[in-house]
Each structure stands twice: as structure tokens, then as C-alpha cells.
Amino acid sequence: MRNAPLRLAPHRDHVTTAAELLALCRRLKSEAPDRLLVADLFSGAGGLSHGLENAGMKVVLGADHYAEANETHAHHFAGMSVDWDLSDMGVVEEIAALMREAEIDVLAGGPPCQPFSKAGRSGIRHRVRLGLRDPKDARRDLWRAYLEVVRLAMPRAVIMENVPDMALDREMFILRSMVLDLEHLGYSVYTRIVQTSDYGVPQFRQRLILVALRENLAFSWPESVKTPVKLRDAIEDLPAVEGGWDIEANKNGFQHYSGPQGSFQRAMRRGMPRSQASRVYDHITRPVRDDDARAFDLMSSETRYSDLPEELRRYRADIFDDKYKRLDYDQYSRTITAHIAKDGYWYIHPEQNRTITVREAARIQTFPDHFRFAGTPTAAFKQIGNAVPPRLGEAVGTAVVAALAARAAAPLSREQVSDQLNEWWSERTDFGSPWLKNATRWQIIAAETLLDRTSRLVSRSVWPLLRDMPTPQDALAERDALVLVGGWINRRRQVKKLLALAQFLVGHAEGLVDSAAIDEAVSLRLVGRSIADVAMLGGASTVDDDEELPVIVNQAILRPAARYADEMSHARNKNSDGRLAVARLIGFGAGSRVAHTALLEIGREVCTTQDPACGECPLQRECGFAATHARA
């Protein structure tokens, strides 16, 4: 019965020693000199590995700190699949040495990224700025260990997959520092948040993908599939089954299978031995409680947990409003996560009154039917939920193979673009927003509050008054003048709010407008977050190099970033795609603050919505929009 742990034999080319791995790699290279060899760190069961092999690569090294996943990986892939802890610097150095000696071309994987305290970020930022490295970082933080493998092994390509949240904190600290390190090592770096359904995966699942190519090569993201795959396409061919590990229909360890009906299903059956064409393995799920069976029977894909009769709700409906979710055959599945190993209530079958099976979860992740998972069903669910969908890995891997073969030159690095923005800012004399240069943070807040969306005539007339008020105390002393000017320009309400903010700030360390005071003022609704973020970029007399600076995504900044990329047709959300586009231009390091400020001025005064003055923009040479819309 399948409720017993499934044990899997190693791959026929499985090896256990470094010497055997080197011999295997030499043989593979002699058989196909152009084939790329891959090391997959944090490999899990091998979803990314499987996708990369489908793209024509060969995975020869997998490492993860999870025994069942390593057993699964060792069964399906050649070479070494090891249970090594990459928080150990000795392991990091050993893996890098193996990669160098075996001439492994590609490093792949998804290192976990833990959140940082401000003190920890400050220390890393200081070392990044000075070009230093601290081995302790690699021991403590696995993403630093991953970068250390890159530094020591220098593979031809790096493919990193992770959760979007890794990139979406206000400062985008981890991602931007990783990119800067990679660029300093000589890699061109490309980042995107992708929706896996764009690549034939039948679920909503966003992932952050980073691709880095040695020797500064160009890379093009793969095109989306023309025909999306919905849940019906993925699992409707699988036979009906009861809930329960020990059901009678599974007594032989498999279910009878009548055959695929569509192209996706045929692809999932590819690789099954001919003798097993009428079998489907791992098509089992949890037993169903009687009360759950009654609840499931009442549910459609639109039913919320709170809609169920009270006697059938075992959890608080006000907290767990989506505790149960019946999937819809004609839509994408909700994201398959590792939580499915704990319970399957988010994944109730579209028609049958049970949660989905191990095989159905694997299908939704695009694992083919011949792919088996070591351990118990619970362990299988965990491996599936943690995996990169193979179809996503195949799409990205195919694009990497093409880029390495084409060897086209990459565009400017983030640091080079940042330098261009810095130079433009230092030379510019005619400012639409003069308070962005050589002003205090208080002056920036005052100007952004009073002069937003006013004419140039108004802003240039009022700015001299604000320029003479560098601190909140000065503004309070000139209260009457501010009130008078506010009446002239129809900004009475804004003046009142500004004076309230000034009164609040004078109680903070003699009016010092630092990040803590600004954040507190935002929380009290004394100033808006957008104005506060702009103020953080400036502040000639109050700037602290260790303060965390946000990546701002307002319309003025997003416009030139999106036009420069000329690929924002894929964008779904300015707070994800937009933030990556902005980070692409401002870089990370000493010059990013000024570059960010310059980008804001460009968006307001040069790269305007109508009739942009592309000839005045420092980014025009490589800007995709300027190439077809330039105005002298």
C-alpha cells in the first residue's frame, strides 16, 4: 500500500565521490561537448533540474538539506545528489571546487532568503560599498553562500529562482545587493517576476527569476505560450478516486488509467514505460472526514468557508474565510505550496468530494507521470509544493542555452546606468523641481506638499520662500508667510497640514528629519508615504549613509524606467514589475541615491507623458522607447 514510504533506487549514473563525478563529467563532455552541465543547489526533488534537462542541459550535481528530496533527486538525475548544509563554509568551498574541476557550466537553485535587521543590512551595505566580503555572512545567510559559490566557481551562467517577496521589501535590499555583487564579478544580470501560467503551468504561481551570464552576454526572456493550460487540461483524464491511503482500488500501488485526452496530458504521459501505459501511480490522497464530505458536497468553486453551515465549520470563519477552496476545472489552480503537506483544504477536487491527490498536485506543478517522489505521501506533497514547476525551468533554461550560443553583448550594467544618471544630475542646471538638489529633507517635504502639480511659474516663485526655511522651526517662525502664500496658490489645506507636521518634528532631536521621524509622521498621517519617500532621497544636511532608502515607484519614476526597458507589456503590477524596472536603472551602492533622484526629475521634466524630450535624456542611447519616439 502507498501509505508506506516509497523507496527509490539511484539513477544508473549516480556517483558518490568527487573522483567519480569528475570522470562522469569528462565522459559527458566527450559525448556532447556543447551540452551544458548543471549544479542545482537547494535542488529539492528536482523540478528545476527536470526543466533544465528538458531544455537540453545535463544536471550532474544536486544538493539539499532534506533526505527524501535528495533520494528523489538521486533517482531521477545522474551524478551526485548530496545532503549538504550550505550554511557551512567548508561545504561552500567544496562545491565550488567540484564545479571548477568538473567544468560545470551552470549554477541553478533557489536559496532561502531570511529577513534582515537594520543593523545586519547596514553591515552588509558597508562591505558591498567597499568591495569587501565577510565569510560569516555566507555561514549565516544562504543567499550569501550561493553568491560565494558563484565567486569561487565562476560558472558561465547562474539561474536563481525565489519567491517574489525576496525583491519586494521597500529597499529591495537582498536582490539589489546580489545584483551588484554579480555585476562586479563580470556578469550581466536579468531579473523578472514571472507568472508560471505564462509558460504552460496550470496554476497561479508568481516566481522571481534571476539570470546572470558571465562575460556580459545579452539575454532575452522566453515568450509566453500561445495556449494556456487550465486545470481541466491538467487532471481531468485521471480516474475518479476515493479519499484514503489504503483504498481498495490502490491495492496494487497504482490506479487503472484509460489514456490521455489532450496535448498536456500526452506530454505528462511521455516517458512512461509501454508496459505501464495503463497505470497511474501516486493517485492517492487523504481520507475524508464525514463532516468534511458533507461540507465539500455543498461547495462550488465560488463557495467561501464562511458560507458553509455553522455546524460544518471547525475553524473560525472570520479568520479562516478561505480555509476550504474547491478548485475550478475551467480556471488555473491556486498556487501549490508546501502547506499541502499539512492539509489539502485549499485544494478540493473540482467535482469529487476529496482533496487532490499526490499525482494531481504533481500534474499541476507539471511533473510528468513517470516522476516519483521518495517517502510517504506527506513527504511527496511537501516536495511537490516546494518545487519549481519543470515547465518554468524548461522555458528559462531554453532561453539561457540560446543566449550562451548567441554570445551577443549585453546592455549597460545597472552601475553604468546609475553613473550616467549621476553625471547628468551633476551637470544639470535647469530644474523643474529645484528642491531635489542641495536641500534639506524638510524643504523637500514642504515643496512636495505645497508645489505638487503647480506650474513652473508658481513653483519658481514660491521655492525661494521655502529655501529660506531649512528646518521645521524656521517654518513655524514664518507661519504667517506660509499661510499667506498658501492662500495665493490655493494650497490652504496643505499649509495647515505642513505646519502640523512641523510642530510634530520639532520634538524630534532638534527637528532632525531622519528616517525614524519620517516613518512615525507617516503612521500618524501627518505626511503621505509618497512625499516621505521622495524626502528620503534628498536631505543635504541630514543624510545618513546607513539609512534604508526605498525604491520609489510613482508615475514620474515608473514612466522612464518602463520606457527604457521597452518590455513592460508583461507587467502586471507596478509594485513588482515596476520596482524591478526602477531598480534596473538606479543600481545599488554609493550612487543609487543620486540616480534615483535624477530619475524622478527625468520623469517630471524630460520623459513626460506627451511629447517627451528624449534628446535631453541621458538614457536615450539604450532606451527602447527613444529609439522609435525620440524628439530632438
Mean pLDDT in residue range 156-168: 89
Alpha-carbon Rg for the chain, nearest whole angstrom, is: 28
Q: What is the pLDDT of residues 480-491, one digit of tens each?
A: 999 999 999 999
CA dist 631 and 435 (Å) reads: 27
C-alpha pair distances (Å), 485 with each of 441, 466, 471, 492: 21, 11, 18, 8
Asked if residue 216 lies in contact with residue 410, where contact means CB atoms within 8 angstroms, the answer is yes
Q: Which single residue is written with the C-alpha cell 487540461? A: 233
Mean pLDDT in residue range 602-630: 86
pLDDT of residue 632: 43
- Cα distance from N-terminal residue to C-terminal residue, the chain: 75
Nearest Cα neighbor of 371 from 385, 358, 382 is 358
Confidence band of 150 (pLDDT split at 50, 70, 90):
very high
In percent, the amount of the chain with pLDDT more than 90 equals 68
Query: Order of strands across the sheet with 37-41?
Result: 80-82, 58-63, 37-41, 106-109, 157-162, 206-214, 187-195
Q: Is the pLDDT of residue 72 over 90?
A: yes
Distance of CA 21 to the CA centre of its chain: 32
Which value, to the nearest 10 degrees, does the dihedral of the CA atoms of residues 343, 345, 347, 352 take? 110
Mean pLDDT in residue range 83-91: 89
Mean pLDDT in residue range 374-391: 96
* CB atoms near residue 119 (< 10 Å): 8
CA dist 331 and 204 (Å) reads: 9
Mean pLDDT of the chain, nearest integer: 89
What burial letters (b/e) apply to 504-526, b meaning 16+ CB within 10 Å? Answer: bbeebeebbbbbebbeebbeeeb
Distance of CA 17 to the CA centre of its chain: 35
Q: Which single residue is written with the C-alpha cell 508583461? A: 570
Least confident range of 53-62, 64-73, 622-631:
622-631
The 3-state secondary structure of 528-582, one letter per residue: CHHHHHHHHHCCCCCCCCCCCCCCCCCHHHHHHHHHHHCCHHHCCCHHHHHHHHH
Q: What is the pLDDT of residues 553-596, one digit of tens each?
A: 888 999 999 888 875 444 456 678 888 999 999 998 778 989 99
In percent, the amount of the chain with pLDDT more than 70 equals 91
pLDDT of residue 116: 42
pLDDT of residue 628: 75
Q: Is the pLDDT of residue 133 over 60?
A: no
Which value, to the nearest 10 degrees, does the dihedral of the CA atoms of residues 467, 473, 478, 484 take? 80
603 phi and psi angles, rounded to 5 deg: -65, -35
pLDDT of residue 512: 61
The domains found in the chain, sorted by start residue, are 18-228+392-406 (3.40.50.150), 231-386 (3.90.120.10), 414-629 (no CATH)
What amino acid occupies position 229?
V
pLDDT of residue 139: 39
pLDDT of residue 131: 52
Mean pLDDT in residue range 600-618: 91
CA dist 494 and 216 (Å) reads: 49
Given its phi and psi angles, is residue 32 left (phi above 0), alpha (psi -120 to 50 degrees) or beta? Answer: beta
Contacts 24+ apart (CB under 8 A), 19-25: 21/60, 21/61, 21/79, 21/80, 21/98, 21/102, 22/101, 22/102, 24/60, 24/78, 24/79, 25/60, 25/79, 25/102, 25/103, 25/104
CA dist 393 and 445 (Å) reads: 46
Report the DSSP pairing between strands 58-63 and 37-41.
Answer: parallel
pLDDT of residue 397: 98
Distance of CA 260 to the CA centre of its chain: 34
CA dist 39 and 98 (Å) reads: 10
Confidence band of 119 (pLDDT split at 50, 70, 90):
very low
CA dist 257 and 193 (Å) reads: 37
Q: CB neighbours of 550 closer than 8 A, spacing ≥ 6?
A: 170, 171, 533, 536
pLDDT of residue 570: 46
207 phi and psi angles, rounded to 5 deg: -135, 145
Confidence band of 127 (pLDDT split at 50, 70, 90):
low
Mean pLDDT in residue range 166-193: 90
pLDDT of residue 574: 64
Nearest Cα neighbor of 390 from 196, 229, 235, 195 is 196
pLDDT of residue 136: 47
Q: What is the pLDDT of residues 248-283, one digit of tens each?
A: 777 778 999 999 999 999 999 999 999 999 999 999
Confidence band of 432 (pLDDT split at 50, 70, 90):
confident
Please list the residues that pair with 63 across neighbouring strands: 41, 82
Q: Is 621 exposed, middle or buried (0-12, 13-18, 19+ CB in 10 A)?
A: exposed
CA dist 432 and 439 (Å) reads: 14
Q: What is the pLDDT of residues 16-30, one digit of tens each?
A: 999 999 999 999 999
**Between 369 and 554, where is the model more confident?**
369
Q: CB neighbours of 399 closer than 8 A, spacing ≥ 6?
A: 211, 219, 220, 221, 222
Mean pLDDT in residue range 200-217: 95
Least confident range of 186-190, 210-214, 407-411, 607-611:
607-611
CA dist 397 and 57 (Å) reads: 8
**Between 547 and 511, where is the model more confident?**
547
pLDDT of residue 174: 86
Q: What is the pLDDT of residues 468-511, one digit of tens each?
A: 999 999 999 999 999 999 999 999 999 999 999 999 988 765 55
Mean pLDDT in residue range 345-358: 96
Q: Is the pLDDT of residue 541 over 60?
A: no
Q: Is the pLDDT of residue 398 over 90?
A: yes
pLDDT of residue 288: 94
